[in-house]
A and B are shown apart, each in its own frame.
Chain A
């Protein structure tokens, strides 16, 4: 194990990058005004997304997030890193509420926290 604060910092930064990635993709999805009814409209939808600089910025952030997580893995146990990575659910909920103005009510928060508890239980119990 490397320095604990460094591991936590790098994983938190990875979660921030992942959150930026999803925020960007959500913005792209909301900006594309193509009603998907069949294959041809789906292709038009996809092509439109791929011409958006924001989509490519998001992809870059998702790569950055992955590299940071892999860097953290070189210093940390997989179970610890995986548990801590579930932090991105908290960041997503906060960012969705603060930036996208989504209504994140008590029920959604409770469900999200429930998922985090589940991920930590799954991640820390090892193979058996």
Chain B
């Protein structure tokens, strides 16, 4: 490994893919939960019935598959960069959520929220620039 500053592009791309799949999994689980109407979960029996009702849902298994992908890709990321770099970088998902809300859901994004997003983007950039090829010592 050569000595260079910043997170390698491939790792960054995998992290972004990781966040997209994570969001997709949450979407699938929300779809699964919504498919059950508004169940009243009051005890173990009703909780069991609720879970049993979701087992036949395609969205549940799509979500489980996405989570499995997220788990593996996250460990691949961790094998490449520092933990104290990888975890802060996951905050990029807040920016995605804001953009998706704005573009697809036509939600209003306030000025303060944009400021927050700018802070997150700045922080993510600064943290990723602080990654000084930790791989140099390994592999």
Interface residues on B, range: 35 or more
Those of A56-98 within 8 Å (CB) of chain B? 59, 88-89, 92-93, 95-97
- What residues of chain B lie closer than 8 Å to A125, measured between beta carbons? 110, 112-113, 116
Query: Once bound together, how far apart are the Cα atoms of A12 and B88, in whole Å?
Result: 17
**A8 in the interface, Cβ–Cβ < 8 Å?**
no
Task: Please classify how large the interface on chain A is, using the bins under 10, 10 to 19, 20 to 34, 35 or more.
Answer: 35 or more
Please name the residue on chain A nearest to B85 by beta carbon: A108
Query: When the two chains form their complex, are residues B115 and A121 in contact, meaning their CB atoms are under 8 A apart?
Result: yes
Q: Are A102 and B134 touching (Cβ within 8 A)?
A: yes
Main SS of the interface on chain B?
helix
A19 CA to B107 CA in the complex, in Å? 33
Bound-state CA distance A32–B117 (Å) is: 36
Q: Is the CB of B78 within 8 A of A26?
A: yes
Interface of A is mostly: helix
Distance between A40 CB and nearest chain B CB, rounded to angstroms: 14
Given A92-B88, A108-B85, A121-B112, 8 other A-B contacts at CB below 8 A?
A: A30-B79, A36-B79, A100-B83, A108-B88, A111-B88, A112-B88, A112-B127, A115-B119
Q: Which residues of B contact A (CB under 8 A)?
A: 71-72, 74-76, 78-79, 82-85, 87-88, 91, 94, 98, 107-108, 110, 112-113, 115-130, 132, 134, 139
